[in-house]
Amino acid sequence: MQTRAKSLIPLWRRRNAVLQGTGRVARSRFLSGLLTCGLVLLGLAAAASRSDERGQEPSFARIDQEVQAIKQEILDINRDLSSLEEELLYPLEHRLTVFLSLSSGTTMDLKVLRIHLGEDTLVHHEYSNAEMDALRKGGVHKAYIGSIRKGEHVLQAQLRGKGRKDRVFDIVNGTTFTKRQSAKYVELRVSESSLARVPRLTIQSW
C-alpha cells in the first residue's frame, strides 16, 4: 500500500503543476488583454500630446502606425502564451498535432473534416469561407492538438467538399504511426490531379 501511494505522489505533483501553470496562462492572457487596451490608449494619448505640442492636428496615419505596432507586440505576446499553454497541457512525450494544408492552385471548397484515432473521434470541423480563403493563401489549419499514449496508432482522415463543377467529393485516407518519446506531427495535404482536378488527400507524419 505504501509503495502504491509513493508511486502516485509524483503524478499528483505533475498534475498540480499543470493546473497551476494553466491558471498562470489564463491570468497572463487576461493581463495581456488589459495591456492591449492600455497600450493602445497610451499610444493615442502620446500621439495626440505630440501633436498638441506642435500646434498641429493629430496625424491619423501616424496614430494608425503606432497602434498597429502595439497590436503586433500583443500578438507576439499571445503567441508566446499559446506556446507556453501547449507545453503545460500537452507534454512532448504525449503530444500529437495534426495540420491540414492545401497545395497551391487548388480550387476545391472544403466543407467538413473528420479525424479518427482508432475508435475515437478527434475532430469534426466545418470550414468557413474565411478559413478557405486563408488556406488558399498558404495558411495552415491546426486541426488538432492533444495527448495520446505511447505506442502504435491508426489515424484516419475523412474530407468532404465540392470540387470541379460543384461535384461533391468524399475522400478517406489513413496512416499508422508509432508515438515515441518526442512530439508527433501529422500533416494532411490536400491537392488536385493536374488534368482532371480530382481531389487527393495525402498524409505525412514525423
**pLDDT tens for each residue of 126-153:** 999 999 999 999 999 999 999 999 999 9
- 41, 65, 89 - which closes a domain: 89
At residue 32, does pLDDT exceed 70?
no
Q: Tell me, yes or no, whether 189 and 109 share the same domain.
A: yes
- 89, 121, 154 - which closes a domain: 89
Provide the number of structural domains found in the chain.
2
pLDDT (0 to 100) of residue 91: 83
Quote the domain boundaries for residue 193.
95-205
Which of these ranges, 40-44, 82-86, 130-134, 148-152, has the smallest mean pLDDT? 40-44
Give the neighbor-by-neighbor strand order of the sheet with 141-147: 141-147, 95-102, 184-192, 199-205
Residue corresponding to grid cell 499508422:
176
pLDDT (0 to 100) of residue 170: 95
Q: Tell me, yes or no, whether 186 and 145 share the same domain.
A: yes
- pTM for the full model? 0.62
Average pLDDT over every residue of 72-90: 73
* DSSP-derived pairing of the beta strands 184-192 and 95-102: parallel
Phi, psi of 187 (to 5 degrees): -110, 130
> What value does the CA radius of gyration of the chain take, rounded to a whole number of Å?
24
pLDDT-based confidence at residue 29 (cuts at 50, 70, 90): low
* DSSP-derived pairing of the beta strands 120-126 and 109-117: antiparallel
Instruction: Return the amino acid letter for 159.
Output: L
Q: Tell me, yes or no, whether 99 and 195 share the same domain.
A: yes
Q: Tell me, yes or no, whether 85 and 107 share the same domain.
A: no
Q: Tell me, yes or no, whether 99 and 199 share the same domain.
A: yes
Q: Tell me, yes or no, whether 63 and 136 share the same domain.
A: no
pLDDT (0 to 100) of residue 31: 55
Q: For residue 144, how far is the Cα from the chain centroid?
A: 8
- 35, 59, 89 - which closes a domain: 89
Alpha helices of the chain — where are they, by DSSP H?
Answer: 2-53, 60-89, 129-136
